[in-house]
Amino acid sequence: ADSMDSFAARSSFDLFTAAFFGQLIESADPATPSLPGNLEFAEAILDATMLLVPMLQSPVEMLKDRVGVESADARLLRDKFSVTMEHASGLVRSFVERWEAGELNKYEQASYLRAALDRRLKNEHVTEEALVGISFILLAASVDTTSSLVNWTLLQLAVDREAQRKLAAELQRELGVGGSLTPEVTQSGRGQWLPYLRSVVREVHRMRPSIPVSLMKRTATEVDMCGYTVPAGSLVMLDSFSPQNDPALVPDAHEFRPERWLPDAVVARKGTAAEVIDHPLLRAPFSAGARMCPGNKIANFELLTMVVQLVQDWEFELEDASITSLLDIPYHQGTTVQPQPMPNFVFRKRRPATA
């Protein structure tokens, strides 16, 4: 199968819109019915996010912007964002009209956007224009960030067939052959369900974080930080890649070992220098604390749901047998790190796994 990156982007869009609008968009498979513009939205977001960060890092682009010259890339970026903003606006305004007319079905009634509209009745300062803007950001982030996590997780499982076998065995044991991730499973106790699945995702995040520099803040005052004095006005960035790949903290850091994140291993690190890799700001793709990604819970469940269903239904490997590690796969730093080009996959119907 080729174009797995496009499939991941469209699937991410479908899952997020199911929660956000309570609607089944069905854009993952281009052959299924889909509202006009949905496929274009997902593809345009990927194109735009691949352009954005390289442009921000380009001195030439910054100079052209300062003197009022629009480059070819800037024009393309503007066009892509215009397409996506127009489509997101149409989706939200159509939903609002049906909400005002009392025409929402039971799934739409349970959606995030319907809850946001109810809250808006109590806060008139949130205009419809602001609601559309917020919705656009969430929809755009749902495509780019989640698809990056899905892409790298599937690639790792494709090159490490033993990890894929172990994961399939856990899923079939806990969910049944072909079973799906259900609310009953995810609500069975914090941190108690599908430990190997969660360890696989955590190890992929260690090796290929979607956003290697996940936080950037400018200090308002002088700050003492771990024995260093950071002057006021300094730009402080959180590097979420280097500590997790430091051989002094992570033995055999170049190797994929999900077992590092099983409960016993985490407990064994407590009180040692390596304990830092379990810090909330490093352990999750969507940051932590008051300024964490507002869509972190749904994005995490999107990722787990997609990985679970694909592993339950299919055995897969890469067409190019010379690729044996994520380190062999070129990548591009847009707003997230994405494989480029995405290797082709070979899929076979999964047979019942053996432990």
Angle at which helices 112-122 and 72-100 cross, to 10°: 80
Averages of pLDDT over each 10 residues, the chain, 355 residues: 82 88 83 74 83 85 92 91 88 91 94 88 76 84 85 96 96 91 74 87 94 84 90 90 94 95 94 93 76 76 92 96 93 88 94 67
Bond before 341 cis per omega within 30 degrees: yes
Closest CA to 154 of 278, 1, 14: 1
pLDDT at 121: 76
Q: Where are the alpha helices (DSSP H) in the chain?
A: 4-20, 38-56, 59-66, 72-100, 106-109, 112-122, 128-159, 161-175, 183-186, 195-207, 263-269, 280-283, 296-313
Rounded to whole angstroms, the maximal C-alpha distance in the chain is 64
Closest CA to 205 of 301, 296, 282, 273: 282
- Using a cut of 0.75, tell me whether the model's pTM lies above it: yes
State the alpha helices, DSSP H only, in 59-105: 59-66, 72-100
Virtual CA dihedral for 183, 185, 190, 193, nearest 10 degrees?
A: -150
